[in-house]
Amino acid sequence: MKLYLHPDMAATNLSGLVAKAVEPRMGVVRGLRQQRTENETGRPLWLIECILDREDERGEFIKVQVPSDTEPVITKFAPITFGGDFHAEPYNMGDNAGVTYRSSSWTQEPRPSTTRPPVPETRESSGKPVPPAPEKVSA
C-alpha cells in the first residue's frame, strides 16, 4: 500500500535539512549484500537522511530513497524539498515495522553562508598591528 502525499503538503510539511551524506540503499539480493534497485526501472536506489521541519511537532529524522544512475550530489545542512511522486510505504516484517519514504525528484537550495567577512587589520609602517582605540566613556 502506498500513501501518496498532496504536493502542497510535501512542499510545506516535508521539506527539511540534509543531515548526512548520501549513501547507497543496501539490501540482500539472491543471498548477496548489494545496492538495491528500483523495481520499475532498475536504477540504483540512494538514501538521503534529512531532518523534517514540522511546525506542529518537533523535528524528525527520516531517510528518503531516491533512484539515480549516479550518486546524487547533496550538500549537508542545506534545505531540501522532495517532489514528484513522494510517498510513504508502510511495511511489517515480523517484529520489524515502519515506513519507507520514496521520492522520484528533489530540489536543494544552496546552504546559506555562515562565514563572516574578514575584519580589516590596521598595521603600522613597521608591520606591527595597531592596538584598538580605547572606547570613549561619556560623562
The DSSP secondary structure of 105-122, one letter per residue, reads EEEEPPPPP-PPPPPP--
Q: What is the pTM of this model?
A: 0.66
User: Where are the chain's structural domains?
Assistant: 3-108
CB contact at 8 A, 59 and 69: no
Per residue in 10-38, pLDDT (tens digit) is 444 467 888 888 999 998 878 899 999 98
| Tens of each residue's pLDDT in the chain, 139 residues | 455 454 444 444 467 888 888 999 998 878 899 999 988 899 999 999 988 876 777 778 889 999 999 998 888 888 888 877 788 888 888 888 888 888 888 888 776 666 666 665 555 555 566 666 676 666 5
For the domain spanning 3-108, the CATH number is 2.40.50.140
Q: What is the dihedral of CA 87, 92, 93, 96, to 10 degrees?
A: 100
Could you identify the residue written with the cell 536543494?
Answer: 108
User: Which strand (E) or helix (H) includes residue 84?
Assistant: none
